[in-house]
């Protein structure tokens, strides 16, 4: 499976088009809980608010709890090679790029599970 998206908004449009947005929210929440990072996702939440929620949590973890951030990246299973493509500008932009990596990986998990189960 190859995702050709440039930002989180495009990825959300793919997830909505595949009717996997709710499953994606559930998977993200599940992996954050596994990393012992509570992420309260409201039931009624549109895709842009969902992206903002994850971006804010990633930013907070990077700035305040870096060990927990690294643990989250491990649990979500983002390959180390993906971090080599991140443009280091400021922390907000990096958090946005990390959010895209998280959403891509979580979407792949959901897509494969949906397709092969």
Which SS3 state, helix, strand or coil, does residue 103 take? Answer: helix
Name the band, by pLDDT with cuts 50, 70 and 90, for residue 40: confident
pLDDT for res 3: 81
Give dist(CA 95, CA 64) in Å, integer.
Answer: 13
* The model's pTM: 0.93
Give dist(CA 8, CA 40) in Å, integer.
Answer: 19
Domain range list for the chain: 8-116
pLDDT for res 89: 86
Name the band, by pLDDT with cuts 50, 70 and 90, for residue 107: very high
Predicted confidence (pLDDT) at residue 44 exceeds the cutoff of 80: no
């Amino acid at each position: 499976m190859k995702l050709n998206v440039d930002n989180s908004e495009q990825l959300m449009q793919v997830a909505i088009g595949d009717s996997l947005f709710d499953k994606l929210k559930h998977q993200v929440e599940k992996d954050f809980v596994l990393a012992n990072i509570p992420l309260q996702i409201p039931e009624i939440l549109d895709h842009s608010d969902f992206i903002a929620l994850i971006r804010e949590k990633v930013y907070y973890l990077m700035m305040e709890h870096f060990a927990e951030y690294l643990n989250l990246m491990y649990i979500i299973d983002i390959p180390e090679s993906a971090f080599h493509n991140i443009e280091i500008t400021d922390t907000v932009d990096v958090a946005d790029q990390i959010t895209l990596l998280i959403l891509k990986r979580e979407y792949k998990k959901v897509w494969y599970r949906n397709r092969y189960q």
